[in-house]
Amino acid sequence: MSSYPNLRLRRTRASAWSRALYRETVLTPADLIWPVFVTEGQGVTEEIGSLPGVSRGSVDVIAARAKEAVALGIPCLALFPNTPGHLRDEDGSEAHNPDNLMCRAIRAIKDACGEDIGVLTDVALDPYTSHGQDGLLDEAGYVVNDATVDALVQQALNQASAGADIVAPSDMMDGRIAAIREGLEETGHANVQLMAYAAKYASAFYGPFRDAVGSGGLLKGDKKTYQMDPANAEEALREVELDLAEGADSVMVKPGLPYLDIVRRVKEMFQVPVFAYQVSGEYAMIEAAAAAGAGDRDALVLETLTAFKRAGASGVLTYHAPLAAKLLG
């Protein structure tokens, strides 16, 4: 009689059909949100040097991408505007313009696709301010909280009126979820979802994104007085608890892969929909690895996205969404 244990875990790995049968985590196109960047013009596509393979698109181009997403089974687009410099000011007032890039893109997507796709909009002032910060500044250059929240409520209501399905405050101001939720309820937008960037860290992985929205060269200082310290985990749980109590329908952890421990802890503690943002720096690293021959792009993309699902994420915002959807399809 063999002395080897009766259970051999390799048995279920021996063939492809068996690996599929025993697979614990399943990734589908329905788990993906595709972030896209909107720019001015007609028929415009602008490559983003620090995000190889990603481009800004004019409103008509973004509407076409929405149709592509529907065909690929991607359920939602996340919109980020590259506001022209002459429309940026200290207060980010263009965020409240009902005909700004974001609002025009929302309407174009809805005209093109109707209810076949969701539209998630970013609520923060950094794409609109001349200083690149997410809020309003006092005389010392400090981002003030309560006045910024008032501006964010106006911004969120502007986007909701244009047809946004999910407004997603990414600013990290205290109390903004309750204020936005109240504003939505009072103005007839009770069915507009609130996805809170609940645990958004002051990360080194955001550089290419800031290039994409045109705020990178404008930023004075950093965002450490309102975005979270990367060393903190317990604080993330406090932030999530507050946002849920204030009316968030779902929460987000950002960045993604370096913070899978936060995704897991949030899911286990609160049992709510938690999303992860595979941010621009993460995307650029995969692209750089693939370009250098250090890894297969397709395999790297699917493995990292599966890791988010395995950690407990309900879905992932990723610039690789169209590629991943094609591979999964």
User: Considering the chain, what is the average pLDDT of its residues?
Assistant: 96
Task: Find out whether 207 and 50 touch, Cβ atoms under 8 Å.
Answer: yes
The residue among 316 and 218 whose pLDDT is bigger is 316
**What are the pLDDT digits (tens) for 159-199?**
999 999 999 999 999 999 999 999 999 999 999 999 999 99
Residue listed under structure tokens 């006045």: 147
Query: 40-48: long-range contacts at Cβ-Cβ below 8 A with a sequence spacing of 24 or more?
Result: 40/82, 40/84, 40/101, 48/208, 48/211, 48/212
Q: Which segments are annotated as binding site for Mg(2+)? A: 239
Task: Find out whether 305 and 316 touch, Cβ atoms under 8 Å.
Answer: yes
Amino acid in the structure at residue 88: R
Q: Per-residue pLDDT averaged across 240-252, rounded?
A: 98
Cα angle vertex 40, ends 42, 61, to 5°? 50
Q: Per-residue pLDDT averaged across 84-105, rounded?
A: 97
**What are the pLDDT digits (tens) for 36-51?**
999 999 999 999 999 9
Tokens standing for 240? 């999530």
Q: What pLDDT is attached to residue 284?
A: 97
Give the integer Cα–Cα distance in Å for 37 and 105.
Answer: 10
Q: Where are the beta strands (DSSP E) in 66-181?
A: 76-81, 118-123, 166-169
At 217, the pLDDT band (50, 70, 90 cuts) reads: confident
3-state secondary structure of 179: helix
Give the integer Cα–Cα distance in Å for 264 and 270.
Answer: 10
Can you list the domains of the chain with their CATH numbers? 26-328 (3.20.20.70)
- Residue 290: left (phi > 0), alpha (psi -120 to 50), or beta? alpha
Q: Where are the beta strands (DSSP E) in 250-325?
A: 250-254, 274-278, 315-318
Evaluate if residue 2 carries a pLDDT over 90. no
Report the 3 state secondary structure along 197-233: EEEEECCCCCHHHHHHHCCCCCCCCCCCCCCECCCCC
Q: Per-residue pLDDT averaged across 278-296, rounded?
A: 97
Helix and strand numbers (H, E) in the chain are 11, 10
% the chain with pLDDT above 70? 99
Query: What's this model's pTM, rounded to 2 decimal places?
Result: 0.95
Evaluate if residue 1 carries a pLDDT over 70. no
> Shortest CA distance to 111 belongs to which of 67, 77, 79?
67
Q: Per-residue pLDDT averaged across 27-40, rounded?
A: 98
Catalytic machinery residues: 200, 254
Residue listed under structure tokens 């965020």: 95
- For residue 56, what is the enclosing H or E element? strand 55-57
Q: Per-residue pLDDT averaged across 247-274, rounded?
A: 98
Evaluate if residue 143 carries a pLDDT over 80. yes
Tokens standing for 93? 């007032």
Give the integer Cα–Cα distance in Å for 149 and 5.
Answer: 62
Task: Find out whether 113 and 68 touch, Cβ atoms under 8 Å.
Answer: no
Evaluate if residue 251 carries a pLDDT over 70. yes
Give the integer Cα–Cα distance in Å for 33 and 38.
Answer: 16
Evaluate if residue 97 carries a pLDDT over 90. yes
Evaluate if residue 220 carries a pLDDT over 90. no
Q: Which segments are annotated as binding site? A: 239
Give the integer Cα–Cα distance in Å for 215 and 80.
Answer: 12
At 4, the pLDDT band (50, 70, 90 cuts) reads: confident
Q: What pLDDT is attached to residue 270?
A: 98
Question: Out of 154-168, 209-223, 266-280, which region has the weakest mean confidence (pLDDT)?
Answer: 209-223
